[in-house]
Amino acid sequence: MTLRPIRNPILRSLALVLIASVALLACSSSSSSKSSTTSAPNSTTTTAAGPTTTTTLEPEAGVGRIAFVYGPEVGDCIDLRSVATGRAVTTRALPTADATLKSDKDVMLRLSCDLPHQYEVIAVPNAGLASTPVPTTEQLIVAAKRLCPAAFKTYIGIAYPGSSLEAGWVLPTEEQRNRGVQTIGCTAFDPKGKLTASVRDSRR
């Protein structure tokens, strides 16, 4: 089929206008599509990264020094923990007066005093008991209750009756007692939770 040329001038002009309009519309559509494509990267949003560290009242054992046999020293900040589960973890929600190692699963974790800890050693007196027979746990506790409160004034800066802290103790283990050790680690602790700094001269 052969298309005849348009001889009518008016029809020819209308045809040219129609062709130009179609071409313009096509260019406009292409430009809009390109603009939409190139502007896409600017519409992306960035989510801020969350915190990378968390604060805990149970410092990891790796930040301290684990001792299966403990000899208390004045100024030690310590946690009594258990390795029964394979990790050195605290076995009680709040500290109590007696921090003595009682089984081969118990360990003492020495920590920086800037980290949360259960106890701080404020004195290391000798119980002064007869060496034979070997002192019992009960005898050592009586000695600790007599000797440890007296250490508050010197170490903490306030007498025990006026302090918000409690007096506790770390007694020598049975094996240590059998070797003649009678050193008591007198401690200060907060019965409401862990200490978060040294209590030396704190007058708490």
144 within 8 A of 190, measured Cβ to Cβ: no
Tell me the average pLDDT of the chain: 79
- The model's pLDDT over 64-104, given as tens digits with 9 standing for 90+, comes to 899 999 999 999 999 999 988 888 888 777 899 999 999 88
Spatial CB neighbours of 79, under 8 Å, sequence gap ≥ 6: 59, 64, 90, 108, 109, 111, 117, 118, 119
DSSP 3-state assignment of 194? coil
32-36, 123-127, 141-145: least confident range: 32-36
Res 23: pLDDT: 45
Which two structure tokens, joined as six digits, stand for 196?
């978060």
Q: Give the count of beta carbons closer than 10 Å to the beta carbon of residue 34.
A: 10
pLDDT band for position 178 (cuts 50, 70, 90): very high
Give the per-residue pLDDT at 57: 67
pLDDT tens-digit map of 15-60: 444 444 444 444 444 444 434 333 444 433 333 333 222 234 678 8
Q: Rounded mean pLDDT of 142-164?
A: 97
The number of C-alpha atoms within 13 Å of 27 and in the hemisphere containing its C-beta is 6
CB atoms within 10 A of CB 137: 15
